[in-house]
């Protein structure tokens, strides 16, 4: 084979080879909100553009109120995985656990729309055993939905006691330290952790050693996410995806792919399949 032919075949290979560079990593963003105060300045089509330009292959979206999520689903059903947030507005964040009107709200939405999860909701300690939260756990079980819970380890334990078969996505990995996250993952095989809004696991192109150990021990249990908890956060979706690709590149490629998107796809695969039936 001549040099020219060698070069030609190498060039052809480069054209057909699957993308392996970290810069091309698709991202499953497990923590997107499209709440009422974001709608005016960022209409659904523009929000979808932001996600697509960022290389987001799928986004778990929940909104205060749920209408925001429905608008995104309508605009891009292939991209948006809808999660039912028990908040009709931002004001419900801290009161929903004691607000009995949340229950009919959830039941009504579940009857009218399809979801893959209930959450993200905030719950701490003994509040997780209040009747409204118990009903949310029951509804998730009845509808085969993941629970996306932002809370402490005590609350997560209580949710699992109510339904040992629950699948829980622990928002922000509980904002707790790697040793505590490890203990929870070891104890609960149906617990996944999102890494939204924290930079201690990875940042600046590097993964912290204790988190590297955790990712290596539990390669199937971590997901990344932006957390657009205020409208301004939408400006960082692209930046967040690039930043995440940066530190994920510090991991072995197969592990980086799992955390970037494959774990999200796997977690919701059964729910997605059920939605298509």
CB of 120 to Zn ion, least distance (A): 5
CB of 33 to Zn ion, least distance (A): 6
- Binding pattern to Zn ion, positions 228-267, x when CB under 5 A? -x--------------------------------------
* Residue (170 or 257) nearer to Zn ion, CB: 170
Task: Mention every residue, 6+ apart, whose C-beta is less than 8 A from residue 252.
Answer: none
* Residue (122 or 212) nearer to Zn ion, CB: 122
Binding-site member from 227, 249, 255, 257 for Zn ion (CB under 5 A)? 227
CB of 175 to Zn ion, least distance (A): 11
Q: Which stretch binds Zn ion (CB under 5 A): 81-89, 130-138, 219-227, 230-238?
A: 219-227
Q: Which stretch binds Zn ion (CB under 5 A): 9-17, 68-76, 184-192, 227-235?
A: 227-235
- Binding pattern to Zn ion, positions 91-130, x when CB under 5 A? -----------------------------x----------
Q: CA 235, CA 41: separation in Å to the nearest integer?
A: 11
Q: Is 29 in the site for Zn ion (CB under 5 A)?
A: no
CB of 246 to Zn ion, least distance (A): 22
Q: Which stretch binds Zn ion (CB under 5 A): 79-87, 132-140, 220-228, 233-241?
A: 220-228
CB of 18 to Zn ion, least distance (A): 33
Contacts with Zn ion by CB under 5 A lie at 120, 227, 229
């Amino acid at each position: 084979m001549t040099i020219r032919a060698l070069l030609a075949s190498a060039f052809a290979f480069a054209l057909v080879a699957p993308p392996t560079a970290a810069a091309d990593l698709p991202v499953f963003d497990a923590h997107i909100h499209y709440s009422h105060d974001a709608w005016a300045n960022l209409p659904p089509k523009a929000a979808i553009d932001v996600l697509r330009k960022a290389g987001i292959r799928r986004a778990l979206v929940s909104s205060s109120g749920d209408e925001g999520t429905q608008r995104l689903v309508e605009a891009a059903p292939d991209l948006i995985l809808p999660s039912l947030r028990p908040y009709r507005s931002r004001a419900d964040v801290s009161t929903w656990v004691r607000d009995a009107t949340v229950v009919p709200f959830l039941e009504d939405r579940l009857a009218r729309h399809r979801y893959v999860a209930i959450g993200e909701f905030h719950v701490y300690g003994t509040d997780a055993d209040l009747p409204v939260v118990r009903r949310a756990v029951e509804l998730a079980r009845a509808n085969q939905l993941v629970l996306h819970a932002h809370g402490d380890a005590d609350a997560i334990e209580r949710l699992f006691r109510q339904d040992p078969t629950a699948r829980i996505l622990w928002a922000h990995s509980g904002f707790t330290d790697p040793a505590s996250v490890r203990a929870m993952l070891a104890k609960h095989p149906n617990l996944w952790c999102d890494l939204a809004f924290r930079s201690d696991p990875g940042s600046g192109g590097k993964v912290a050693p204790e988190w590297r150990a955790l990712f290596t021990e539990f390669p199937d249990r971590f997901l990344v996410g932006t957390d657009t908890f205020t409208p301004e956060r939408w400006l960082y979706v692209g930046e967040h995806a690039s930043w995440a690709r940066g530190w994920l590149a510090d991991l072995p490629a197969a592990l980086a792919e799992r955390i970037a998107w494959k774990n999200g796809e796997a977690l919701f695969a059964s729910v997605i399949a059920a939605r298509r039936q």
